[in-house]
């Protein structure tokens, strides 16, 4: 019997095949046809969406989840084509859920307390004895009761935890360093430990206690943040979140799946769901066009948008030869299982008209081989309408220029509309992976903001070839900024302009009269040339005092490199002999 059991487990593990995307790897496994795990699969949401019920056999569910995790653990799975959404109906489960690349763990209750996982949901070290590349994974809308008192969520960028109740402690690292993360709309009963986590952003969360500090930790609208203040400890605390609409979330009712859209809140503190705040609206499954990567293209998706449908992208890789035109007020676009959208014709991926109330969440946007002027545009150039009462909201949007494959663009995101709000974004010109090099994955800017009254929570923006962030709108607000300058300028002369050495990471244009930012972390690693950067931050002189809590850090690389000033020639320099400068 023992041998038969071993054989059965091997069959269950090996049968579902693996799909990979290693376009430039000589030792890549060949693509194998995937077989679904029958009863866990919900065909209406695509073959890689698995739905679990508490009445199911826990051992079978565990084998299923372990199988997906192990698929994503093989060499270079960081750039795999595989995408998965694991959905849990309301009820209680006893599981150890290990989360890897492109795995999204979602509870389907109206409250996080409707889905209870006893055991673990965890993201651990896999490679290089750190979690510096633990990207592209998420968990939301459920409760975790950790069997050993602590949830280990060792992640770096693009790994959000939202709408989660942890009945225990939360550890934001595993082995070695971690490079930033995002936590919102959650309740942590115990202690949050940051350990060697370099930076972290927390919004509208209730915690028992926070322990640990490193470079840049920010708390906005948080109940019980740490007592210490900048610069004694690297903590920036903003009592209230000025404006937010929490991310739309998936639920289940008698008629199928639904998407709940929370209300707009101003000056809020703590999680949205604890006080049973009613939703603004609930959208039924019939109000969505459910896109599938093996069927849909630009034409079919745009046709659905013209018919007034919302969009739900199921897990997969979407190639689009025309931009998706979003013109209807209040449209909701949701990605499930971190789907990837890539242009094939030098086009944008998404263009949003200058209208009220659009929500876009949970998408990876990859640059294509033919360079695009912009990958994601919000509002047409010159947009002037006010959207204060019903802004556009963008949640968990992650851009990649190179990495999975060769790609280029002029800029990743351009925001022209007024009053837009961004809640967690990572714009990444790849420093490793496929198609990477100064003359290969070309991209000048990560983010350009032209609209007035734009607010961003959790802005991660790295390695672009000119200004990482270029802000030209008035009344802008940024809460937390993480940025690395490009690793790879080949010479000093290749990275200078108008008599200025290098490019500032954070640039506020000369025409801007009012702008404010808090928690600004800028870091440099120059592996090639002995780069010189005149300013890490550039703003009009009158706005210097509005850029609060700044840290500039010399991490590694060419020992002759130097960042000569923090802001506008002020604040001292960072180099191998003076690696960190902290300013109010």
Question: Of 453, 457, 452, 506, nearest to 479 (Cα)?
Answer: 457
Consecutive H or E run containing 263: none
- In the numeric block, the tokens 């376009």 are attached to 23
Q: Which of 246, 351, 466, 484 is catalytic?
A: 484
SS3 285: helix
Residue count of the chain: 584
Find out whether 176 and 125 touch, Cβ atoms under 8 Å: yes
Question: Of 433, 411, 334, 407, nearest to 80 (Cα)?
Answer: 433
Find out whether 102 and 76 touch, Cβ atoms under 8 Å: no
Say how many Å lie between the first and final Cα of the chain, rounded.
68
Structure tokens at 454: 């734009």
Find out whether 160 and 137 touch, Cβ atoms under 8 Å: no
What's the CA gap between 48 and 90, in Å, rounded?
20
What's the CA gap between 478 and 308, in Å, rounded?
33
What's the CA gap between 461 and 467, in Å, rounded?
10
Print the SS3 string covering 501-521.
Answer: ECCCCEEECCCCCCEEEEEEE
Find out whether 430 and 409 touch, Cβ atoms under 8 Å: no
CB atoms within 10 A of CB 391: 24
Question: Of 484, 524, 507, 584, nearest to 156 (Cα)?
Answer: 484
Task: Dihedral sign for Cα 57, 61, 67, 73, please.
Answer: negative
What's the CA gap between 282 and 259, in Å, rounded?
6
Q: Which residues of 208-234 are buried (b: 16+ CB within 10 A; e: fewer)?
A: bebebbbbbbbbbbbeebbeeebeeeb
Q: Residue 223 gets which letter from DSSP?
A: B
Is 560 an active-site residue?
no
What's the CA gap between 454 and 418, in Å, rounded?
6
CA angle 319, 324, 326 (to 5 degrees): 155
What are the DSSP E strand ranges found in 21-168?
49-52, 84-88, 91-98, 103-107, 115-122, 137-146, 150-152, 161-166
Q: Tell me the CA distances in angstroms from 270 to 80, 244, 276, 377, one per residue in order.
A: 36, 12, 12, 31
Consecutive H or E run containing 383: none
Annotated catalytic residues are 484
């Amino acid at each position: 019997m023992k041998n038969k059991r071993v054989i059965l487990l091997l069959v269950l593990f090996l049968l579902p095949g693996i799909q990979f995307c290693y376009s430039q790897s000589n030792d890549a496994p060949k693509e194998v046809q995937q077989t679904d795990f029958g009863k866990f699969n919900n065909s209406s949401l695509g073959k890689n969406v698995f739905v679990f019920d508490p009445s199911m056999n826990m051992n079978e569910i565990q084998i299923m989840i372990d199988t997906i995790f192990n698929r994503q653990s093989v060499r270079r799975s960081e750039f795999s084509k595989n995408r998965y959404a694991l959905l849990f109906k309301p009820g209680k489960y006893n599981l150890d859920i290990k989360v890897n690349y492109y795995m999204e763990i979602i509870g389907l209750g109206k409250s996080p307390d409707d889905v209870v996982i006893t055991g673990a949901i965890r993201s651990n070290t896999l490679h290089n004895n750190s979690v510096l590349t633990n990207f592209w994974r998420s968990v939301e809308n459920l409760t975790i009761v950790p069997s050993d008192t602590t949830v280990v969520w060792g992640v770096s960028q693009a790994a959000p935890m939202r709408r989660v109740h942890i009945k225990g402690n939360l550890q934001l690292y595993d082995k070695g360093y971690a490079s930033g993360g995002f936590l919102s709309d959650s309740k942590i009963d115990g202690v949050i430990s940051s350990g060697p986590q370099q930076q972290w952003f927390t919004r509208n969360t209730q915690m028992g206690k926070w322990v640990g500090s490193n470079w840049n930790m920010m708390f906005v609208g948080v109940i019980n943040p740490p007592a210490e203040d900048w610069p004694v400890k690297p903590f920036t605390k903003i009592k209230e979140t000025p404006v937010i609409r929490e991310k739309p979330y998936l639920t289940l009712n008698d008629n199928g799946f639904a998407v709940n859209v929370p209300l707009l809140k101003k000056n809020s503190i703590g999680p949205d769901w604890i006080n049973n705040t009613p939703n603004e609206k609930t959208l039924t499954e019939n109000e969505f066009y459910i896109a599938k990567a093996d069927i849909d293209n630009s034409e079919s998706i745009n046709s659905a948008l013209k018919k007034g449908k919302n969009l739900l992208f199921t897990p997969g890789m979407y190639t689009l030869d025309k931009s998706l035109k979003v013109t209807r007020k209040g449209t909701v676009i949701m990605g499930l299982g971190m789907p990837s959208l890539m242009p094939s014709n030098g086009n944008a991926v998404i263009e949003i008209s200058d209208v009220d109330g659009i929500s876009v969440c949970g998408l990876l946007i990859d640059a294509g081989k033919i360079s695009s002027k912009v990958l994601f545009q919000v509002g047409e150039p010159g947009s002037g309408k006010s959207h204060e009462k019903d802004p556009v909201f963008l949640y968990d949007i992650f851009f990649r220029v190179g990495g999975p494959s060769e790609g280029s663009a002029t800029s990743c995101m351009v925001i022209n509309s007024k009053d837009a709000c961004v809640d967690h974004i990572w714009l990444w010109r790849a420093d490793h992976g496929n198609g990477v090099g100064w003359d290969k994955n070309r991209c000048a800017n990560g983010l350009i903001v032209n609209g007035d009254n734009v607010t961003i929570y959790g802005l991660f923006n790295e390695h672009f070839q000119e200004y990482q962030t270029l802000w030209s709108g008035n009344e802008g607000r940024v809460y937390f900024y993480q940025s690395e300058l490009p690793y790879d300028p080949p010479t000093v002369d290749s990275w200078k302009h108008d008599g200025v050495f290098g490019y500032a990471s954070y640039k506020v244009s000369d025409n801007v009269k009012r702008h404010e930012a808090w928690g600004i972390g800028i870091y440099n690693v120059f592996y090639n040339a002995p780069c010189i950067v005149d300013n890490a931050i550039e703003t009009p002189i009158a706005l210097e005092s509005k850029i609060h809590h700044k840290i500039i850090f010399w991490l590694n690389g060419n020992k002759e490199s130097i960042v000569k000033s923090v802001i506008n020639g002020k604040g001292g320099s960072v180099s191998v002999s003076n690696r960190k400068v902290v300013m109010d």
